[in-house]
Structure 1
Amino acid sequence: MIEVKLLLFILIVAGIFFIIIAFFLGIKIGNLSASKHLAEEIRRAREDAVKRSRAVLNGQFSEQFAPFFPDFPANPTESRFIGKPVDFIAFSGLSSSSINEVLFIEVKTGNSRLSKPEQSLRDAIEHKRVRYAEYRIPAAKA
């Protein structure tokens, strides 16, 4: 009878020990799997960041040289780079001292689209909500 109880006790202890080992082994395997997954996610995120960075740099480079590309809608000598909210303002006729048109130019590359501010500027210009203002700096008082 004591031998049966001892054998039963040993089996129970061995079972508990097996469950504990299986539990910690499962945690270790899960951590390794998560670590591999995390490393893969980091690699993909870095590749995506590099790809996006290249696209932005390519766009910025193209913007600066756009006036010298074929079919640019204005004379490069009459174009001024602004950057935001529009890339260029061109003053048609400036080189002959008689401006006959002011042209707002937004340069885009690839599949890029107008941002909300760029869309609102385009709409303001198309609806002729444009004006000229002169500002004079106040004279200093003696």
Structure 2
Amino acid sequence: MDTALVIAAAVLAAFAIIYLNYYVIRRRFESRFREWQVQEQAYWKSEVLRASRQAVTQSRAVLGGKFTEQMVPFLPEFKYDPTEARFIGSPIDFVVFPGLSAGDPREVVILEVKSGVNCQLTPSERKIRQLIEDGMVRWELVERPCPPDSGNPV
């Protein structure tokens, strides 16, 4: 009976040691996990704030550029009559008809406005510039027939 009691005590002690190790390791892991979780939450909170600020800054720059594009004809360095400029916006900014206000247009000018730090043409704008320089510009007229007279005076 003594042997059975010793074996039972040893098994009980082994289970107690295993449970104690499990409990300590689990607590340590949970503590580390909570620390990691707090760090990740702080990181993502700062990352969202940074991204929001960057988005606002970029949006302001884009809006400022669009505003500048439309106001260019009224600035002193604009070398054409503002009444002869037609804003298109995309893919080019203006088509200017010098002499149009006097009733004698002399040429057609395709004008792109760039402002800000990164003043580079987009691939589409570069392609359009190349097409113009290569003379790949033409005139087209679309005529629609007038509706038949319905007999009603206008």
TM-score (norm 2): 0.83
Quick one: which of 97, 113, 117 aligns to 2:120? 113
Percent of aligned positions that are identical: 37
Larger Cα-atom Rg: 2
- Once the two structures are TM-superposed, the CA of residue 6 in structure 1 deviates from its matched residue by 5.0
- Once the two structures are TM-superposed, the CA of residue 112 in structure 1 deviates from its matched residue by 3.0
Q: How does 1:1-142 map to 2 (within 5 A)?
A: 1=6, 6-110=12-116, 111-140=118-147
- Once the two structures are TM-superposed, the CA of residue 101 in structure 1 deviates from its matched residue by 0.9
- Once the two structures are TM-superposed, the CA of residue 9 in structure 1 deviates from its matched residue by 4.0
C-alpha distance in 1, partners of 2:148/2:112?
43
What are structure 1's unaligned runs of at least 5 residues?
Answer: none
- Cα root mean square deviation, aligned: 1.8
TM-score (norm 1): 0.89
Deviation string 1:26-78 (CA, Å, 9 cap, x unpaired) is 22111111101100110110011011001001001101110111221321111
What are structure 2's unaligned runs of at least 5 residues?
Answer: 1-5, 150-154
C-alpha distance in 1, partners of 2:135/2:10?
99
What letter matches 1:91 in structure 2?
F
User: When the two structures are aligned, how many residues end up with a matched partner?
Assistant: 142
